[in-house]
């Protein structure tokens, strides 16, 4: 199924808070899929965005920070750009690892770099960081 999107001039955003628990990754993914449907974004881009969010949210859940902190996910649509953001209370910067074939983890940021048009890390105003990934929506096929 081709990816389709309605071009929007002004930025639209949705923000959700989740407990720093593994099950929150699936909840964040469901919130993303619901929001993208509202924005009339469908197809392969939804799957890429969901996978990016899964990797970023998993890193946030596993971040070294005080227990009980929440993670925040934010989806921003501006024109033909979708930005997926995940914020946590850890100041520790994510580092891309080169996992061996036997490692069971450590490939998340490599996957993010491969799937996103760009990605990065920004400090939060108070504490922690925001890790984001940007996807460009394809031209045409507007519904």
- Dump pLDDT digits (tens) for 65-95: 766 689 999 999 999 999 999 999 888 877 6
Contact, 138 vs 1, CB < 8 A?
Answer: no
The whole-model pTM stands at: 0.82
Which class is domain 8-136?
A: alpha beta
Domain boundaries, the chain: 8-136
Q: Identify the CA nearest to 53 among candidates 35, 38, 79.
A: 35
- Dump pLDDT digits (tens) for 14-70: 999 999 999 999 999 999 999 999 999 999 999 999 999 999 999 999 877 766 689
């Amino acid at each position: 199924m081709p990816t389709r999107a309605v071009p929007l001039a002004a930025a639209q955003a949705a923000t959700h808070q989740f407990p720093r628990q593994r099950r929150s990754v699936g909840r964040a993914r469901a919130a993303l899929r619901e929001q993208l449907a509202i924005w009339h974004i469908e197809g392969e881009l939804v799957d890429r965005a969901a996978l990016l969010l899964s990797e970023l949210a998993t890193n946030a859940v596993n971040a070294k920070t005080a227990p009980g902190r929440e993670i925040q996910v934010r989806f921003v649509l501006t024109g033909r750009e979708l930005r997926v953001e995940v914020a946590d209370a850890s100041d520790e910067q994510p580092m891309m690892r080169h996992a061996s074939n036997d490692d069971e983890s450590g490939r998340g940021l490599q996957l993010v770099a491969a799937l996103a048009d760009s990605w990065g890390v920004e400090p939060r105003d108070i504490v922690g960081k925001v890790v984001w990934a940007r996807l460009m929506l394809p031209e045409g096929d507007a519904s």
